[in-house]
Chains A and B, each alone.
Chain A
Amino acid sequence: DGGITQSPKYLFRKEGQNVTLSCEQNLNHDAMYWYRQDPGQGLRLIYYSQIVNDFQKGDIAEGYSVSREKKESFPLTVTSAQKNPTAFYLCASTIKPGQSYEQYFGPGTRLTVT
């Protein structure tokens, strides 16, 4: 079955530690995205990548970093510089970059930092 895998489902870290969230897709999609979801808020874009070896900052990129070395993988690192990292993180993809394409989402990773 094609889809997006995010692991782990739940992640706990101590403050001051960097943590990397995994996102893998086997849909052969070109574009991938990372969103953050907080209670009562919509999804906010952290980073996006339209093609391998290229990525762009979204609306709330500070304290996060990404890489896109392979088409199917788009890991997100939450660094210690992110002031409020506890949130639900969603990875998504579209078949091509562009405004008309629907997004396919992974199951999300819930990160708790204490």
Chain B
Amino acid sequence: AQKVTQAQTEISVVEKEDVTLDCVYETRDTTYYLFWYKQPPSGELVFLIRRNSFDEQNEISGRYSWNFQKSTSSFNFTITASQVVDSAVYFCALTSGGGYQKVTFGTGTKLQVIP
């Protein structure tokens, strides 16, 4: 069985602050993929990043960065210098087991950036 835990239900930060969203996963498979999606108030989930289990390099994309650590089964997401437009629900997701892509989503973290 696979599981994704996003322990932070809601986070509020003041604009320009840095914020880290935590994601802890569980899987018995050695090959797996981790994803982050953003769900703005409009409702449509938007893909942000994919990372496979064999690539532990951290990634930076503009103000976004991701820290993948297999030793702690974590795939954390940091937003630097947050902006109001970053306000959304962020989901971490996991696929593993090969074959059909069964995606397990975390329960999401609602981020509110206050101007």
Contact = CB atoms under 8 A, between A and B. Distances in A.
Interface string A63-92: 000000000000000000000000010101
Interface residues on A, range: 20 to 34
A107 B46 CA distance: 10
A42 B97 CA distance: 20
B65 interface: no
B43 A98 contact: no
Contacts of B101: 31, 94, 97-101
Contacts of A100: 33, 50, 52, 95, 101
A88 B43 contact: yes
Given A31-B101, A99-B32, A40 B44 contact: no
A99 B98 contact: yes
Contacts of A105: 37, 44-46
B103 interface: yes
A45 B105 CA distance: 10
Contact of A43 (B46, B52, B99, B105): B105
B47 A42 contact: no
A32 to B, nearest CB: 12
Interface of B: 4, 9, 31-33, 35, 37, 42-47, 50, 52, 91, 95-108
Given A42-B107, A43-B103, A100-B95, 8 more contacts: A40-B9, A92-B45, A99-B31, A99-B100, A100-B101, A105-B46, A107-B43, A107-B44
Interface of A: 31, 40-43, 45, 48, 50, 56, 88, 90, 92, 94, 97-108, 110
